[in-house]
Amino acid sequence: MQTELTLRLEKQLVELAEEYASKRGKSVSQMVADYFALLNEAVETKKEELSPIARSLKGSLRGIQVTESDYKRHLEEKYL
C-alpha cells in the first residue's frame, strides 16, 4: 500500500534531486523510497554484525553460571 509523504525542501535542492533522478530514469519518490529501504537494511545489518572482539568472545561463557555476587567479588579482588 502506498501513501503520500510531504517533504519541505529548498527549491534548489528539489531541482537538483529532480535532475539527478531524471538522469537515472527514476522519480524523486522512487529515489527517496530506495534510500529509506537502504537505511532499513543498514540498521538490520548493523544489529546482526558483531565487532571482531565481540565475535571472538561470543559463547566463551556458555554453560558457566555467573551470579551478581561472583561479579562483585571479582571487582573487590581486582580493585581493593
Q: pLDDT of 8-56, one tens digit each?
A: 999 999 999 999 999 999 999 999 999 988 887 776 666 667 788 888 8
First to last CA, the chain: 62
Neighbours of 27 (CB within 10 A): 13
Dist CA 68 CA 6 (whole Å): 51
pTM of the predicted model, to two decimals?
A: 0.50
The set of cell numbers assigned to 19 is 535532475
CA distance 19 to 67: 61
Confidence of residue 69 (pLDDT cuts 50, 70, 90): very high
What pLDDT sits at residue 45? 62
